[in-house]
């Protein structure tokens, strides 16, 4: 069973980008963490794109092959009805992750289109948010059988 871990714009710069907000760890560290916490029989497919359409294509691809999506949509969180629509066409569990505590930041980060679909939302736990999200997807997938 495959878990998609999708990352939106600017997250390729994780570790270098505003480290006072996002920390010094990289997307490679996120991949290692997700793989470490994924249960037996679960595979992690971690992807990042700066392009909205690419993220939508990956959500469509995930429809065929996956048991859940962990998504940090970056700034598309606050703008993308198209990503929301793609997730609404996806049946297994979806967990939304933000590294930073978005509700403590600018008002434009307080609204999320993706939260209208997400089964869980995590913000402000740093990379630990991804680990918790992967654990939860594994748990829900086992329950679903």
Q: Catalytic residue positions?
A: 22, 98
How would you classify residue 120: left for phi > 0, otherwise alpha for psi between -120 and 50, otherwise beta? beta
Residues 6+ apart with CB under 8 A from 107: none
Q: DSSP string spanning 20-51?
A: HHH-S--HHHHHHHHHHHSPTT-EEEEEE-S-
Candidates 28-36, 43-51, 68-76, 114-122; binding stretch for ligand DQA (CB under 6 A): 68-76
- 80 counts as binding ligand DQA under rule CB under 6 A: no
Q: Which of 75, 81, 89, 116 lies at the binding interface for ligand DQA (CB under 6 A)?
A: 75
Residue 7 and residue 139: Cα distance in Å, rounded? 22
Q: Is 78 annotated as a binding residue?
A: yes
Q: Which of 99, 133, 134, 137 lies at the binding interface for ligand DQA (CB under 6 A)?
A: 99
- 109 counts as binding ligand DQA under rule CB under 6 A: yes
- 112 counts as binding ligand DQA under rule CB under 6 A: no
Q: 67 or 134: whose CB is closer to ligand DQA? A: 134
Start-to-end Cα distance in the chain: 11
Q: How far is the CB of 130 from ligand DQA (least distance, A)?
A: 10
The dihedrals phi and psi of 67, each to the nearest 5 degrees, come to -110, 5
> Within 13 Å of residue 142, how many CA atoms lie on the same side as its CB?
11
Q: Tell me which residues touch ligand DQA (CB under 6 A).
A: 10, 72, 74-75, 77, 98-100, 102, 109
Residue set of the binding site for substrate = 72, 78, 85, 99-100, 109
Residue set of the binding site = 72, 78, 85, 99-100, 109
């Amino acid at each position: 069973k495959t878990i998609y871990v999708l990352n939106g714009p600017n997250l390729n710069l994780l570790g270098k980008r505003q480290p006072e907000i996002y920390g010094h760890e990289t997307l490679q560290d996120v991949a290692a963490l997700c793989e470490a916490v994924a249960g037996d029989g679960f595979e992690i497919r971690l992807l990042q794109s700066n392009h909205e359409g690419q993220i939508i294509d990956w959500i469509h691809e995930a429809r065929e092959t996956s048991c859940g999506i962990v998504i940090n949509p970056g700034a598309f969180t606050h703008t993308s009805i198209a990503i929301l629509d793609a997730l609404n066409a996806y049946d297994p569990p979806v967990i939304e992750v933000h590294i930073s505590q978005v509700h403590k930041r600018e008002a434009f980060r307080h609204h999320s289109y993706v939260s209208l679909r997400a089964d869980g939302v995590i913000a402000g736990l740093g990379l630990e948010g991804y680990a918790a999200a992967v654990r939860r997807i594994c748990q829900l997938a086992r329950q679903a059988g």
